[in-house]
C-alpha cells in the first residue's frame, strides 16, 4: 500500500504540471480550433530563462534567499514568455485564421522548431541544472514520502488552475473569451474585440507555460532546449484525454495522465523485469492517447460544444 500511495503522490505532482500546460493547449483550441504545438517550447523557454535569470541575480552578491531567487527569476521569465506568445499569435497565426486547417498546423510545428533552435543557439544543447534553492525536506505520508517542493508544486498548480477557471467564469475578459469561443462573428457584432481576446489567450497561456516550465525544472532538477517536445506532447495528450477545449477536462486529464504514468511505471516495471520500468514511462502517455482517439475521441468530459446563434 505504501508503494501505491507513493506512486499516487508522484503522479499527482507530475499530473499537476501536465494539467497546467494542458490549459494552454485547450484555451487556444477552444477559441481558434487549432492546436498550438509551439506551446511546449514556451514551457522550455520559461524554464531556461528562469535558470539564466537566477544565475544573474545570484551573481549580484546580494545574498538573496533561494525562494526569492526563484520568484525573481520567474518574474523575469513570465513577461518574456508572454511576449513570445503574443508575437507568435500576431505573426504566425493571425494571418492564417481563414486558411485551410493544415496551414496553421504546419506553422505551429515550424514555430516549435524555430524556438527550439533559438534556445540551442542561446544555451547550447546541454542540460542545465536547476539551482537547488527550494526546500526538499521529506515528510512521511502513510508510509510514502512527499517533499516540501512537491507540496509547493501541487498547491501552486491548484491555486493557479482555480484562479484561471474563476477568471474565465467571472471576469469581463473571461466572458469575452467564452463569447468568442461560441461564435466569433456574433461576438464581434456585440462589440467584443476579437483580436484582443485571442492575443490575451495566447499571452495568458504562455504565462502559465512559464510557471509550468519552472515546476518541471525544479521537480526534475534540470532543463534543456529540447525538453519542450516531449512535455508538450504529454500535455497535449492530457488535454485530449480530458476533452480538448474544456478547461475542467484539461485539469482532470493532466492529473489522470500523471497518475497513469507513475502507477504504470511503478508496477509494470517489476512485473516485466524492468522492460517497462521508469525509463519507458513515456509509452504510457501515448498508449492513453491512442486508446482515447480510438474509443472516445471527444475525451472523458467531452468537448464543450457551443450553440450557434
Where residue 108 sits, what CATH number does that domain have?
A: 1.10.3470
Q: Is residue 303 part of a domain?
A: no
Q: Is residue 309 part of a domain?
A: no
H-run or E-run covering 139: strand 138-141
Q: Is residue 306 part of a domain?
A: no
Residue 44 has what pLDDT? 95
Q: Is residue 148 part of a domain?
A: yes
Nearest to 193 by CA among 207, 171, 170, 177: 177
CA-based R_g, the chain, Å:
19
Which residue range is the domain that position 273 belongs to? 2-295
Residue 231 has what pLDDT? 92
User: What number of other Cβ atoms are within 10 A of residue 62's Cβ?
Assistant: 9
List all residues 6 or more positions away from 273 whose beta carbon is below 8 Å from its beta carbon: none
Structural domain count of the chain: 1
| Contact criterion met (CB below 8 Å) for 77 and 49 | yes
Q: Is residue 302 part of a domain?
A: no
Q: Is residue 235 part of a domain?
A: yes
Q: Is residue 73 part of a domain?
A: yes
Residue 144 has what pLDDT? 82
φ and ψ of 243, to 5 deg: 120, 95
Look up the pTM and report it: 0.90
**Cell numbers standing for residue 287:** 498508449
Each residue's pLDDT tens digit in the chain (309 positions)?
677 888 889 899 999 999 999 999 999 998 888 888 899 999 999 999 999 999 888 887 667 778 888 899 999 999 999 999 999 999 999 998 888 888 888 999 999 999 999 999 999 888 888 888 777 778 887 778 888 899 999 999 999 999 999 999 899 999 999 999 888 888 888 888 999 999 999 999 999 999 999 999 999 888 999 999 999 999 999 999 988 888 888 999 999 999 988 887 777 665 555 555 556 677 877 888 888 888 888 887 765 444 333
Q: Is residue 59 part of a domain?
A: yes
Residue 307 has what pLDDT? 37
Amino acid at each position: 500500500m505504501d508503494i501505491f500511495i507513493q506512486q499516487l503522490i508522484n503522479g499527482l505532482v507530475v499530473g499537476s504540471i501536465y494539467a497546467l500546460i494542458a490549459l494552454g493547449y485547450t484555451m487556444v483550441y477552444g477559441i481558434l480550433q487549432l492546436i498550438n504545438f509551439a506551446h511546449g517550447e514556451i514551457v522550455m523557454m520559461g524554464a531556461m530563462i528562469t535558470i539564466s535569470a537566477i544565475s544573474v541575480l545570484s551573481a549580484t552578491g546580494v545574498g538573496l534567499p533561494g525562494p526569492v531567487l526563484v520568484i525573481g527569476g520567474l518574474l523575469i521569465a513570465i513577461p518574456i514568455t508572454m511576449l513570445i506568445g503574443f508575437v507568435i499569435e500576431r505573426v504566425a497565426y493571425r494571418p492564417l485564421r481563414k486558411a485551410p486547417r493544415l496551414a496553421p498546423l504546419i506553422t505551429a510545428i515550424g514555430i516549435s522548431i524555430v524556438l527550439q533552435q533559438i534556445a540551442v543557439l542561446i544555451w547550447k544543447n546541454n542540460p542545465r541544472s536547476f539551482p537547488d534553492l527550494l526546500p526538499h525536506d521529506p515528510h512521511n505520508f502513510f508510509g510514502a514520502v512527499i517533499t516540501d517542493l512537491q507540496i509547493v508544486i501541487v498547491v501552486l498548480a491548484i491555486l493557479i488552475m482555480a484562479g484561471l477557471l474563476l477568471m474565465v467564469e467571472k471576469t469581463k475578459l473571461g466572458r469575452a473569451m467564452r463569447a468568442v469561443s461560441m461564435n466569433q462573428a456574433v461576438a464581434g457584432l456585440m462589440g467584443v474585440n476579437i483580436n484582443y481576446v485571442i492575443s490575451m489567450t495566447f499571452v495568458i497561456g504562455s504565462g502559465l507555460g512559464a510557471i509550468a516550465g519552472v515546476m518541471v525544472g525544479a521537480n526534475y532538477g534540470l532543463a534543456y532546449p529540447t525538453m519542450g517536445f516531449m512535455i508538450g506532447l504529454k500535455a497535449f495528450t492530457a488535454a485530449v484525454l480530458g476533452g480538448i477545449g474544456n478547461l475542467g477536462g484539461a485539469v482532470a486529464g493532466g492529473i489522470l495522465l500523471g497518475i497513469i504514468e507513475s502507477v504504470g511505471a511503478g508496477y509494470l516495471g517489476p512485473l516485466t523485469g524492468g522492460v517497462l520500468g521508469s525509463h519507458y514511462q513515456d509509452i504510457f502517455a501515448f498508449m492513453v492517447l491512442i486508446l482515447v482517439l480510438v474509443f472516445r475521441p471527444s475525451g472523458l468530459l467531452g468537448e464543450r460544444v457551443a450553440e450557434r446563434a
